[in-house]
């Protein structure tokens, strides 16, 4: 499973606050960085699904 953040992300920081094991706010670039560019570990897949659910503007896609 891979995570993608869409360009319309508003950088609210919620995903970083709730799931720091997957997301980091990059202050220099004002964007959200992913902890894993490729497949995430299977033990974090539930957290990724929760993050997708919690993003208020549905900017997190899972592939
Ligand atoms: S919760 Fe959604 S809108 Fe907020 S920073 Fe994360 S991806 Fe962007």
Domain spanning 3-62, CATH class: alpha beta
Q: Are 36 and 3 in contact (CB under 8 A)?
A: yes
Ligand 1 atom closest to the Cα of residue 5 is 7
pLDDT band at 57; cut points 50, 70, 90: very high
Does residue 13 surpass a pLDDT of 90?
yes
Q: Are 44 and 23 in contact (CB under 8 A)?
A: no
The whole-chain average pLDDT of the chain stands at 96
| Closest C-alpha to ligand 1, atom 6 | 15
Each domain of the chain, given as residue ranges in start order, spans 3-62
Of 54, 59, 61, 62, the residue with max ligand 1 atoms within 8 A of its CB, to mutate for a pocket test, comes to 59
**Which contiguous run of DSSP H or E holds residue 34?**
strand 31-34
Ligand 1 atom closest to the Cα of residue 60 is 7
């Amino acid at each position: 499973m891979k995570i993608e953040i869409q360009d319309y992300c508003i950088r609210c920081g919620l995903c970083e606050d709730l799931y720091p094991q997957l997301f980091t706010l990059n202050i220099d670039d004002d964007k959200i960085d992913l902890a894993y560019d490729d497949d995430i570990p299977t033990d974090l897949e539930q957290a990724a699904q929760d993050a997708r659910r919690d993003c208020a503007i549905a900017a997190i896609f899972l592939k």
